[in-house]
Amino acid sequence: MKQYKLCVVGVGAVGKEILRILKERNFPIASLKVLARSAREMELDGFKYQVESISHDSFKGIEIALFAGTEGEKGASVTYAPTAVKEGAVVIDNGADFRLKDDVPLVVTEVNAADVKNNKGIISNPNCSTIQMVVALSPIYKLSKIKRIIASTYQAASGAGQGACDELYSQTAEFLDGKDLTIKALSKRIAFNVIPQIGGFTELDYTSEEWKLVHETHKILHDNDIKISATAIRVPVKTGHSESIYIETERPLSVEEVREVLNNQPGVKVVDDIKGGRYPMPYQSEGTDDVFVGRIRKDPFVPEGLWLWVVADNLRKGAALNAVQIAEALIKDD
């Protein structure tokens, strides 16, 4: 088997998870560079990595560059991805900078892996909440075209970075000790609270996170006609995003045929035993690779309407795992 010269850019929560998953899945690596703003030695799961300081010279000879997802004008992706492409690498980017560009494939491997072949040097990893939603909905879409989606996301603190996760812990301790809560990483308190805002408010008073679900789903499913409306909420959970999803399909579908098609979908695990009190919960998804689906039920008033409850580890399937799966799809025919 051919082996590849890789680099991982960024060693935050997602970057570390990418390193873990590359090892777990035995990705064929000839050489591996780990790049960040500053050089240091880093230990992860008992293995030591030499982190190099990133520069435009870091990408010579690199074939696949996995960017862990710093966004914006001064982010690593905007700054260094074009250089990596010029040096001959294919960039797999976890940030939002390239997702909606016409010449950049936006890929969830269980849904549209074939799109990796259309890359011009950059492939984008979708937003975490989009990934788990389209993995769950794509097999239903094949049964009957989806006309409408209403989604409410309940997103873990880790989706906002390690600082938000640390703040969940520290605020919880402060609250239980009767102290004033320290608010830094998030705009509002997260302990014993929910925040009905992720991202800045934009068009029609929806947030940027909510619009990501709309535009990214349209692009991945190659269908701009789906009517999608979303509400994104930050909740006091460490890891694991949950989504309450309502769909309307062109023809009525039974719960039984939806459950069957989901059971046959790679990357999906149906946990839907209401008599036994079994349904997906975020803490159970932590450290796993599947998208969990439960609470599958018909709308009692709309024959084409269905509800689902969808849960996944936002750091793994919602970010790092999907990035590595894109790399696997990229080399599949090599």
Active-site residues, by number, are 128, 241
Task: Write out the E strands in the chain.
Answer: 4-9, 29-36, 40-44, 47-53, 64-67, 90-93, 122-124, 146-155, 227-234, 241-249, 268-270, 291-298, 305-312
Report phi then psi at 2, rounded to 5: -65, 145
- Residues 190 and 188: their CA atoms lie apart, in Å, by 6
- Residues 76 and 258: their CA atoms lie apart, in Å, by 41
- Residues 43 and 116: their CA atoms lie apart, in Å, by 32
- Residues 305 and 292: their CA atoms lie apart, in Å, by 20
- Residues 322 and 327: their CA atoms lie apart, in Å, by 9
3-state class (DSSP) for residue 139: helix
Residue with tokens 């605020």: 171
- Residues 37 and 56: their CA atoms lie apart, in Å, by 12
3-state class (DSSP) for residue 146: strand
Token pair, residue 200, equals: 């800045």
- Residues 280 and 293: their CA atoms lie apart, in Å, by 6
Count of C-beta atoms within a 10 Å radius of residue 65:
29
| Terminal Cα-to-Cα distance of the chain (whole angstroms) | 10
